[in-house]
Amino acid sequence: MDNIKIEGTDRSPEIDFEFSNNKFSIRGESYPEDVTAFYGQIIENLETHLSDMDGGNVEFNFELIYFNSSTAKVLMGLFDTLEETAEEGVSVTVNWYYDEEDDTMEELGEEFAEDLEAATFNMKTLET
């Protein structure tokens, strides 16, 4: 699978999916005009890649400042996929980066963490 690198914009986050190293990250703000158009292909590629894995390690980094409800739905689906991957025996680590003054992102991270049991979820404050 080819790596995916998409520059961030005012409305969409930076996407950096290194399939070769199993290292993935989403950074920035996310309220694209068409969530399906923005996330559709990359999520499909990710799901295909993860379902093909047989053991190994996956690291997923989130560094989000703001996201809308549609993006939240995408993220919840993504966490389901990561949890299922972990249940299949892959070691999955999710790092949720947030600004220590951003209570909203901290609370959202804590809520997402509740859904993950097989995958490891780490809350990390951003170094300023």
Partner 1 sequence: MSFDLFKAEGEIIDNAKAVLDDGKATKTTIRNEFQSLLKSYQKLFKESRRLVRMSDRNEAQLSQVAKNLDEKSKVLEALSEKLSKYLSPQVYELIFSGERDGGLMTERKKLTVFFSDIKDFTATTEDLQPEDLTFLINDYLTKMSEVALKHGGTIDKYIGDAVVIFFGDPVSRGIQDDALACVRMAIEMQRRMVDLRAKWLDLGYERPFHMRIGINTGYCNVGNFGSADRMDYTIIGGEVNLAARLEGICVTDGITMSNETYMQVRDHVPADPLEPIQVKGIARDVRPFSVRGILEETGTKKRFIRKEAEGMRYFFDLERMDPKRRKRAAKELEKIVTTLRSDD
Stretch that binds partner 1, among 2-10, 13-21, 48-56, 62-70 (CB under 8 A): 62-70
Q: Is 10 exposed, middle or buried (0-12, 13-18, 19+ CB in 10 A)?
A: exposed
- Residue 128 sits in the site that holds partner 1 (CB under 8 A): no
- Residue 70 sits in the site that holds partner 1 (CB under 8 A): yes
Q: Which is nearer to partner 1, 7 or 107 (CB)?
A: 107
Closest approach of partner 1 to the CB of residue 30, in Å = 12
Q: How many CB atoms lie within 10 A of CB 111?
A: 11
Size of the site for partner 1 (CB under 8 A): 21
Residues in the chain: 128
Site for partner 1 in 1-40 (CB under 8 A): 35-36, 39-40
51, 68, 124, 91 alpha-carbon torsion, rounded to 10°: -10
Geometric angle at alpha carbon 74, from 69 and 80, rounded to 5°: 125
Closest approach of partner 1 to the CB of residue 122, in Å = 20
- Residue 110 sits in the site that holds partner 1 (CB under 8 A): no
Q: Is 97:61 a contact under the CB 8 Å cutoff?
A: yes
Helix (H) or strand (E) holding 10: none
Binding site for partner 1 (CB under 8 A): 35-36, 39-41, 43-44, 66, 68-70, 72-74, 76-77, 80, 104, 107-108, 111
